[in-house]
Every structure is written in C-alpha cells, then in structure tokens.
Amino acid sequence: MEEIYKPSPTYKAELAAAKRKAAKPLLWIGIISIVMLFAGLTSAYVVRADNGNWLLFNLPNAFFLSTALIITSSITLFMSLQMAKRNNKPGVIIGILLTFALGIAFTFAQFAGWNELTAKGIVFAGKYSNAAGSFLYALTGLHLAHLFGGLIALFVTLINSIRGKYTKEDTLGLELTSIYWHFLDILWVYLFLFLYYIR
C-alpha cells in the first residue's frame, strides 16, 4: 500500500505566507489592467467626440447622488480597517455593513441615472442612439460590473469579520478589499468628472 504524503505544518505555513505575500501584487496587477481598459475607452471617447455628430446633454441628477454615496462608502470602509487594527470586532462589522449598504445604494442610483437618460431619449444602441450616449452607458456600465465584484468581496469580508478573522495581527483580507473598493471609488470620481467636463 502506497504511503500518502502529508505536508508538514512548516510547509503549510510557508505556503500560506507565500500566498499572502503574493496577494497584494496580484491585486495591483488586476487594478492596472482595469486602468488600462478605462484609459483606452476614455481616449476613444475623446477621439470620437472630435469627429462631430456628438449629442450634448447633462449628466443625470442620480449620478451626483451616486458620487456622494461611493465617496462615503470609502470612508466607512477606512473606518472599518482602523477598527480592525484596534481589535474592535463590532466596529469592523458595522463599517463593512455600512459600506455594503452604500454600495447597493450606489447601484440603485446608477440604474436611476440610466432611467433618467432613457426618459430623455438617450439610449445605448439602436436607431435613435448617439455615440455620446453609447459611450456613457459603456463607461458607467463597465464600472458597475467591476463594482459587483467589489460587492462580492465585501460580502465575503463581512462573513470573515463576523467570524472574527480580522485582528490587528491579521488584516490582509480587509486590506485587499479596501484597496479594490477605494480604487473603484477613485475610478468613478474620475469617470464622473471626465463625463461632466468632456462633452
């Protein structure tokens, strides 16, 4: 009978340490790829806007609300991380819950903004579409798709926080989620200002 190999505790600890060490660099690689995607799209937006037949319209009011919501969500998540560093478990949970709720509210605000646009006849595609509207839907829709990933990460982080995983000695998971969420915040503010001023 063949002997079953069982990794030693030392090997398991070294493997876990290696994974932890690689986590942030891998996240930053993913973030850089997202930055490149949006840089390409906004560049294409500028080029297309200069070619004429470009519809001018105001951003929906709901986008102003969603901007305030996502900025606030970054503040609550920052507070959650600070609570983890103080071993304040209830504070961690409350901070993540608030961030998750604000993320959901941001999502509804985005849909409300799109409804405002369609009510004005600004649609993504079809006979009555215009490149200006199509770009706006594409940029904001892609951002929202990435935000869904952030909401999933927040939910997992919330479960881990309830289990008491995050302490001042171990905040890695919460840090990774925070980095990604703050990035989404900065990305939205950039897109909002870009769409507001570049028409």
Print pLDDT tens along the chain (199 aa).
455 556 655 654 555 566 677 888 999 999 999 999 999 999 999 999 988 889 999 999 999 999 999 999 999 999 999 999 999 999 999 999 999 999 999 999 999 999 999 999 999 998 888 999 999 999 999 999 999 999 999 999 999 999 999 988 889 999 999 999 999 999 999 999 999 998 7
**Domains plus CATH for the chain?**
20-52+61-197 (1.20.120.80)
Long-range contacts of 189-198 (CB under 8 A, 24+ apart): 189/67, 189/70, 189/71, 190/38, 191/38, 191/42, 191/139, 191/140, 191/143, 192/59, 192/63, 192/67, 194/42, 194/45, 195/59, 195/136, 195/139, 195/140, 196/59, 198/42, 198/45, 198/46, 198/49
pTM value is 0.90
